[in-house]
Amino acid sequence: MSGPTSDNWRVTIRRRLFFAAALFVLWATGIQARLVYLQVHRHADLEARAENQSARTIPVSAKRGDILDRHGRVLAYSVESESVYAVPPDIDDPAKAAAALCGALGDCSPKDREALVTRLRQKRAFAYVRRQVSPEQAKRIANLKLNGVDFMKEDRRFYPKRELAAQVLGFVGVENKGLAGLESAYDSQISGTQGKMLYERDARGHRFSRLERPPTAGATVELTIDEYLQHIAERELRDAVSRNRASAGTVVVMDPHTGEILALANEPTFNPNVFADSEPEQRRNRAVQDLYEPGSTFKVVTASAALEEHLFGVDQMIDASGGRIKIGSRVIPDTHDYGVLSFTDVIVKSSNVGAIRIGLQLGAERLGLYARRFGFGRALSPDFPSETAGILWDPARLDTSALASMSMGYQVGVTPLQMVAAVSSVANGGQLIQPRVVRALIREGKRHEVKPTVLGRTIDAETSATLTGIMEQVVERGTATYAQIDGYTIAGKTGTAHKLVNGRYSNTDYFASFVGFLPSKDPVVAIIVVLDSPHAVGHFGGPIAGPVFQRIGQAALRHFGVAPTLNAPSPVLVARRGMPSDDRPTNIVREATIVPVGAPGSVQVLPDFRGLSAREVVRTLTKMGLSVRLHGSGVVSAQAPPAGTSIDSGRTCDLWLERAPVAVASLAPEQ
């Protein structure tokens, strides 16, 4: 066809082709622009959304290391438990799902249900429903078969001995983080390194998973605590608090040579498995957090300073007559009118007037110096971050009245741990050893032991020996006769202090305490007992805290197999050191060695002991392998067998003691 009609048709075709091409170009340009926008400008956002729709990354808690006692007995470990989580975008009806979940859990309050609905409505890809559910709860939730709800394994901390050493161990929260005690102090070592779990889904929503980064287990912590002694300490303390109607109490048992804490008990206490059910008062570690004025136990420091500075001899007489002393306008009473006492008897009878006279002779600067040397006024142990440093005044701020108070154990705030560490330095010859409750860390099968640390010297060995002899007499014939244990020499000091209540000293509330070590010659333990506000019968440290010390001390001597040091029977039944004692559970095998008196040994010649102190003679006879039987107190006046006698090792020597006559050096009362 030709003509105008044909030309019009061609023009129409070209126009249509041009229009179609223009549309195609515009469409292609739009597609390219969209691709550029999506792949460049929104690349990160879309990638994150794709990742969120197909994969879930969930943190995986590391397995916490175990906590063991010094013999490897487990005190804390972790067990696997189920935790329930949700993927909120996958849940169609959050309110309905929350109602079903609460029904399966069985213990949701209306507030808990509302909080769960809120979590299920959020746009986040992960939300916890409930951490560490019981097996029964997990089974009921699984039977619901809710879309968007799943389980993951988490570790839950478990304390098999319940309340045993609760304040020492502390506890762990649901986030697998230590919240108190050693669980908190050593959290970075115990907790290990967190891992990650990657969950992926296919196009149909079916889930599969792979472990992206496995967690690393934490270190095992071996403690210095002895489970048996810890049990004994807690049992005796609990009984004493109940029997004396005290508001609280503390016991610390320590190895005076290494600073290792063998037992640390507090009453009241709590069960760390259900720590949320307890009160803060129950969870507090009173041994390192509570301050108290030690009263007469602090006279050990006053006496040590006086002896070390050579201001007094043990037999020097001090005027304590009148039963009171006036310091300015203040009158300080004694428990009795003792008259004139020797330096030794000031400590043995715990005379306040005598101690004040010693303190005034020392002066504030020297007494403050020795108090600092003995560890007061500072935190001592790295194992207790919550440890209180205590209160120790600058000597320049102590007037005569304050110095008098400090000399007899007031005007200074201490912790039970500080007090037992101070007396331990007397027991070990004059070294202040850092108290520790962690014995070793075990990582990947390697044991990293914590070595004892000497913080400084308090007094020299001679002063230590002299003071030990005085403290022996405190137990033998002084205020601490309730702490005596047949067959053993014990060194100790009682303390009774008015409690400060609302800024005033109470006449009804007291701290009754006893601190000492045994056996006194080669001590295996130092023990402090502090009872807060006993209200049954009496409030003095000797009859209140002394019996607790005695019972714990007896158990420790049996536990470590320590042979009697005085008046040993024949034959002597001695448990081998480190073996379980008669009080141990019956499923533990016990061993014993019969050590007969008079066993074959070298023949030795007895020296003349007359005029020597009992301590010097006992030390000499112990080195000779002989047993000792004492009669009376003071210095040796007679002995049997007599001097020059040949005697086999293992035999017994009898000593008769008398008080030696001494000159009186009277000190005039302070005006």
Burial class of residue 320 in the structure, from the number of CB atoms within 10 Å of its CB (0-12 exposed, 13-18 middle, 19+ buried): buried
| 329 token code pair | 């306008």
Active-site pick, 61, 78, 296, 407: 296
d(C-alpha 293, C-alpha 392), whole Å: 11
HEC assignment per residue over 540-609: CHHHHHHHHHHHHHHHHHHHHCCCCCCCCCCCEEEECCCCCCCCCCCCCCCCEEEECCCCCCCEEECCCC
- 296 catalytic residue (yes or no): yes
Closest CA to 402 of 354, 377, 368: 368
586 contact partners, CB below 8 Å, separation of at least 6: none
d(C-alpha 241, C-alpha 529), whole Å: 11
d(C-alpha 521, C-alpha 13), whole Å: 122
Q: Residue 443: phi, psi to the nearest 5? A: -125, 130
For 55, 170, 184, 298, 424, the CA distances from 179, given in Å and listed in that order, are 33, 7, 5, 34, 31
In DSSP terms, which residues pair with 556 in a beta bridge?
Answer: none
d(C-alpha 335, C-alpha 331), whole Å: 13
CA atoms within 13 A on the CB side of 269: 29
Closest CA to 220 of 438, 525, 504: 438
Q: Residue 412: phi, psi to the nearest 5? A: -145, 135
Q: Residue 64: phi, psi to the nearest 5? A: -70, 145
200 contact partners, CB below 8 Å, separation of at least 6: 54, 55, 56, 207, 208, 209, 210
Instruction: Report the DSSP pairing between strands 652-658 and 627-632.
Output: parallel
Buried b (16+ CB within 10 A) or exposed e, 43-65: eeeeeeeeebeeebebebbbbbb
For 194, 209, 215, 434, 546, the CA distances from 212, given in Å and listed in that order, are 12, 9, 10, 44, 60
For helices 135-144 and 94-105, the axis angle rounded to 10 degrees is 150
Residue with tokens 């701020």: 397
For residue 151, give the H/E element and its range: strand 149-158
For residue 468, give the H/E element and its range: helix 461-477
Cα radius of gyration (the chain): 37
Closest CA to 478 of 494, 457, 498, 502: 494
Catalytic annotation, residues: 296
